[in-house]
Chain A
Amino acid sequence: MKTFPVGGVHPSDNKKWSCKKSIELLELPDVVNIPLAQHIGAPATAKVAKGDKVLTGQLIAEATGFMSANIHSPISGTVTAVDMQPNAQGLRQMMITIKREGDEWMPEIDRTPEIKRACNLDSAAIIAKIKQADVVGMGGATFPTHVKLSIPDGCKAEYLIINGVECEPYLTSDHRTMLERGEELLIGVEILKKALNVEKAVVGVENNKPDAIAHLTKLAKEKKFDVVIEPLKVQYPQGGEKQLIAAITGREVPPPPALPIHVGAVVCNASTTIAVYEAVQKNKPLIERVVTITGKELKEPRNLLTRMGTPISKLVEMAGGLPEGDVKVVNGGPMMGRAMVNIDSPVTKGCSGVSVYSGKDAHRVEPSACIKCAKCVVACPMALEPYLISKLAKKQMWDRLEEEHITDCIECGCCQFTCPAGIALLDYVRLGKQTVMGIIRARAAASKK
């Protein structure tokens, strides 16, 4: 069975609490907050003002330039504010607040349950539809999908890889989506193949989801979809774009600024593929997504189909409320997720799950000294030296950090997970990466002038 060649760790996946729970519809929130920046790139520009009436699926913010995405209203009602609101990290960012009145959809959106397979559009028309419907990568990186599908000159896509790996522990939203909406996923693959003009399409699924692999394989055979379902050996971070390409094609993506397309691969998350299907076949913008709410101590872990902008506290409520005592609520899973200080913050396009930890799990271990055992070096899937770059970042040696390729870091957290001394390596690595990226950007801007 295939997997990626360098580094990786095996955290216990802890998916058992929610992987058997079918996707349920979360009741509509009374008020939603929609951040204008929920994708990589420039924040969208608000097209509504306080007092405006909007329908579900109506454009409320427009993409600012190419590297940006539109935003459509997830509910119908009245805009009550376009103002700075605290996000999950407690920092204020621009959000549109909408108070719900009923649930009236835009008429052009096809809400029938019927599955539409035939698609007569050409590549440019498909990409235009995806762009209009604000589809972005839903695995967490929130890279605008239309940008990914616009192949730069001189490159040719050979592989379309659908990322159904979901290697992050705890989270099960992609798993449930693949199980329950397999056919839509495979039609989405067909559409993406057409948009990219590629022959080969592979859906990569880790072997800890045998039911999803069996279901998709059966569907592909029965309904004659030209797609390979590839079971992968379980290893974190297989869901990383570069790791998945290496696992499936055996090709290594060169360091930035090279992109996956330079080795002929385009990777798209499974949920994103369904969003592509809905955008193209149903005219439905990305206004809802499946969010896993899970945790050891939660009464009722669930997979909820949630409208964007719904307060996360509502999901927690649906899961039976927070446990007593010290609690850590993390936006995402334990490896790459970020702890939240404001659980009233909204569900965004990149939010695939919320995991809750209590008691001892809510705290980090007390770190001891580094003994240079090099476990982090072995674990790093990008072949970096985490103990070294972490130390260099602490000493603010930015030039050295750039030489050590800190910008290659995918922030997967393998180094910190594997460290026997419990050192928070990623804290300083992230700081170093942010600073070095800033320096590189400033240099590029200066050289342009």
Chain B
Amino acid sequence: MTVLLSTILTLSVLGVLSAVILYFVAQKFHVEEDPRIDEVEKMLPGANCGGCGFAGCRGMADALVKQDDISALYCPVGGAEVMKGVASYLGKAAPEKEPAVATVRCGGVCSKRPRTNEYNGSKSCAVAASFYVGETACAYGCLGYGDCVEACAFDAIKVNPETGIAEVDADKCTACGACVKACPKHIIELRKKWPKNRAVYVSCVSKDKGAVTMKACKAGCIGCGKCAKVCAFGAITIENGVAYIDSQKCKLCRKCVNECPTGAIVLKGMEPLPKEPKAPAAKPAEPKKVEPKAEVANNDSVKEQK
């Protein structure tokens, strides 16, 4: 009995003593935290995707509360609505950003870009890219082992088993940019999101010379510059042998799509312009069009000789 009593007594005294110590310690080391941080964190989507540049939503909430000017902060997942809510709660000006969507710029589907070898290594784009050119002769194209798929927290990007190329579901994509960072070939870009998921972009990033690109992939951009000539808005530039359409300048007029000899310019969510009225205008440019074709013929004959 005495053993039981002394045990209970000792433990109780210890408990009370600890409580007193803890109380004073808590008083002494109290951290003043803005209660608004918790509130803002609740408003954020809670995806912890890192798309804002912070490790998670808590970091973003902390920054939103502490920084006076929040124009540089943006939650790509919540979008304008969430940012407006947060801004009005904090009484700051809401940052504005156009909605964007991840775009995979490679059109080298199996039928256009023949496989030249079989990859036997670890199924990772980063590993394959560190080894060699990939299963095709194009050193710039999509490898299709899905590093982007693994990086995506929203199930918005998938590798199509038929084409071997990653495809983005524009409705699910939040433009957090995780896939852009994950792609070792730097194919994925965040581009302006038009209503109804309309888009015009050059689906190729090959910096090889036209003839080399053509040999590796029939859907590649050969840098012929026809699209840049026809563009009335100065949205298209040719650099390092590859065309690039600036999505901020582009007005979706679709003229470039019909000009492209290899079909490297992709049109989404819209019908292409009718081709007939373009015919007379295209005539003077025809000799140039012959050039890549001749190269294809040469390449094919080389293959036959082998």
A residues neighboring B (CB under 8 Å): 84, 86, 89-92, 326, 328, 338-339, 341, 363-364, 394, 424, 427-428, 430-431, 434
Q: Is the CB of B137 within 8 A of A431?
A: no
Q: Is the CB of B208 within 8 A of A431?
A: no
Is B139 close to A, CB under 8 A? yes
A326 to B118, CA, bound (A): 10
- Complex contacts, A364 vs chain B, CB 8 Å: 120-121
A84-B208, A427-B122, A431-B126 given; name 9 further pairs at CB < 8 Å: A89-B132, A90-B116, A91-B132, A92-B139, A92-B212, A339-B131, A341-B116, A341-B133, A363-B120
Interface of B is mostly: loop
Contact of A424 among B116, B122, B133, B208 (CB under 8 A): B122
Q: In the complex, which of the residues A339, A428, A431 has the most CB atoms of chain B within 10 Å of its own CB atom?
A: A431
Is B90 close to A, CB under 8 A? no
Look across to chain A and name the residue whose beta carbon is closest to the beta carbon of B116. Answer: A341
Is B27 close to A, CB under 8 A? no
A84 to B211, CA, bound (A): 12
Q: In the complex, which of the residues A90, A364, A427, A430 has the most CB atoms of chain B within 10 Å of its own CB atom?
A: A90
Tell me the number of A-to-B contacts counted with CB atoms below 8 Å: 50
- Measured CB to CB, the closest approach of chain A to B263, in angstroms, equals 24
Contact of B127 among A91, A92, A328, A427 (CB under 8 A): A427
Interface string of B80-123 (1 = CB under 8 A from A): 00000000000000000000000000000000000011101110
Q: In the complex, which of the residues B116, B117, B132, B137 has the most CB atoms of chain A within 10 Å of its own CB atom?
A: B132
A339 to B137, CA, bound (A): 15
User: What 7 A-B pairs are tightest by C-beta distance, nearest first?
Assistant: A90-B133, A89-B132, A427-B122, A427-B127, A341-B117, A364-B120, A424-B122
- Complex contacts, B137 vs chain A, CB 8 Å: 86, 90
Contact of A89 among B122, B131, B208 (CB under 8 A): B131
Interface positions of B from 119 to 164, Cβ below 8 Å from A: 120-122, 124, 126-127, 130-134, 137, 139
- Complex contacts, A92 vs chain B, CB 8 Å: 139, 208, 212
- Complex contacts, A339 vs chain B, CB 8 Å: 120, 131-132
Q: Is the CB of A430 within 8 A of B120?
A: no
- Measured CB to CB, the closest approach of chain A to B162, in angstroms, equals 24
Q: Is the CB of B130 within 8 A of A91?
A: no
- Complex contacts, B124 vs chain A, CB 8 Å: 394, 427-428, 431
Look across to chain A and name the residue whose beta carbon is closest to the beta carbon of B138. Answer: A90
Given known contacts A341-B116, A364-B120, A424-B122, is B132 in contact with A431 (CB within 8 Å)? no
- Complex contacts, A338 vs chain B, CB 8 Å: 131-132
- Measured CB to CB, the closest approach of chain B to A429, in angstroms, equals 10
Q: Is the CB of A341 within 8 A of B132?
A: yes
A326 to B134, CA, bound (A): 18
Interface of A is mostly: mixed
Interface string of B214-228 (1 = CB under 8 A from A): 000000000000000
A394 to B212, CA, bound (A): 33
Q: Is the CB of A91 within 8 A of B121?
A: no
Given known contacts A341-B116, A341-B117, A364-B121, is B139 in contact with A90 (CB within 8 Å)? yes
Interface residues of B, count at CB 8 A:
18
Contact of B121 among A90, A341, A427 (CB under 8 A): A427
A326 to B120, CA, bound (A): 12
A91 to B46, CA, bound (A): 42
| 6 pairs of residues in contact across A and B, judged by CB atoms under 8 Å | A90-B116, A90-B133, A92-B208, A338-B131, A341-B116, A394-B124
Look across to chain A and name the residue whose beta carbon is closest to the beta carbon of B208. Answer: A92
- Complex contacts, B116 vs chain A, CB 8 Å: 90, 341
Q: Is the CB of B139 within 8 A of A91?
A: yes
- Measured CB to CB, the closest approach of chain B to A112, in angstroms, equals 41
- Complex contacts, A341 vs chain B, CB 8 Å: 116-117, 132-133
- Complex contacts, B133 vs chain A, CB 8 Å: 86, 89-91, 341
- Complex contacts, A427 vs chain B, CB 8 Å: 121-122, 124, 127
- Measured CB to CB, the closest approach of chain B to A357, in angstroms, equals 11
A434 to B130, CA, bound (A): 8
- Measured CB to CB, the closest approach of chain B to A330, in angstroms, equals 12
- Complex contacts, B208 vs chain A, CB 8 Å: 84, 92
Given known contacts A90-B137, A92-B139, is B117 in contact with A431 (CB within 8 Å)? no
A342 to B122, CA, bound (A): 20
Q: Is the CB of A424 within 8 A of B121?
A: yes
- Measured CB to CB, the closest approach of chain B to A271, in angstroms, equals 26
Look across to chain B and name the residue whose beta carbon is closest to the beta carbon of A341. Answer: B117
- Complex contacts, A424 vs chain B, CB 8 Å: 121-122
Q: Is the CB of A428 within 8 A of B139?
A: no
- Measured CB to CB, the closest approach of chain A to B68, in angstroms, equals 30
A109 to B155, CA, bound (A): 66
- Measured CB to CB, the closest approach of chain A to B10, in angstroms, equals 44
A89 to B131, CA, bound (A): 7
- Measured CB to CB, the closest approach of chain B to A313, in angstroms, equals 10
- Complex contacts, A394 vs chain B, CB 8 Å: 124
Look across to chain B and name the residue whose beta carbon is closest to the beta carbon of A434. Answer: B130
A92 to B133, CA, bound (A): 9
A89 to B119, CA, bound (A): 12
A67 to B106, CA, bound (A): 38
- Measured CB to CB, the closest approach of chain B to A443, in angstroms, equals 19
A364 to B118, CA, bound (A): 12
- Measured CB to CB, the closest approach of chain B to A84, in angstroms, equals 8
Contact of A428 among B120, B122, B134, B212 (CB under 8 A): B122
A46 to B291, CA, bound (A): 30
A338 to B131, CA, bound (A): 8
- Complex contacts, A430 vs chain B, CB 8 Å: 127, 130
A431 to B134, CA, bound (A): 15
- Measured CB to CB, the closest approach of chain B to A257, in angstroms, equals 23
- Complex contacts, B134 vs chain A, CB 8 Å: 90
Look across to chain B and name the residue whose beta carbon is closest to the beta carbon of A427. Answer: B122
A424 to B130, CA, bound (A): 14
Q: Is the CB of B132 within 8 A of A90?
A: yes
A434 to B129, CA, bound (A): 12
Look across to chain A and name the residue whose beta carbon is closest to the beta carbon of B306. Answer: A344
- Complex contacts, A434 vs chain B, CB 8 Å: 130
Look across to chain A and name the residue whose beta carbon is closest to the beta carbon of B133. Answer: A90
- Measured CB to CB, the closest approach of chain B to A383, in angstroms, equals 24
- Measured CB to CB, the closest approach of chain B to A61, in angstroms, equals 22
- Measured CB to CB, the closest approach of chain B to A300, in angstroms, equals 22
- Complex contacts, B130 vs chain A, CB 8 Å: 430-431, 434
Look across to chain B and name the residue whose beta carbon is closest to the beta carbon of A396. Answer: B126
Given known contacts A92-B208, A341-B116, A364-B120, is B131 in contact with A428 (CB within 8 Å)? no
A86 to B118, CA, bound (A): 18
- Measured CB to CB, the closest approach of chain A to B130, in angstroms, equals 5
- Complex contacts, A326 vs chain B, CB 8 Å: 118
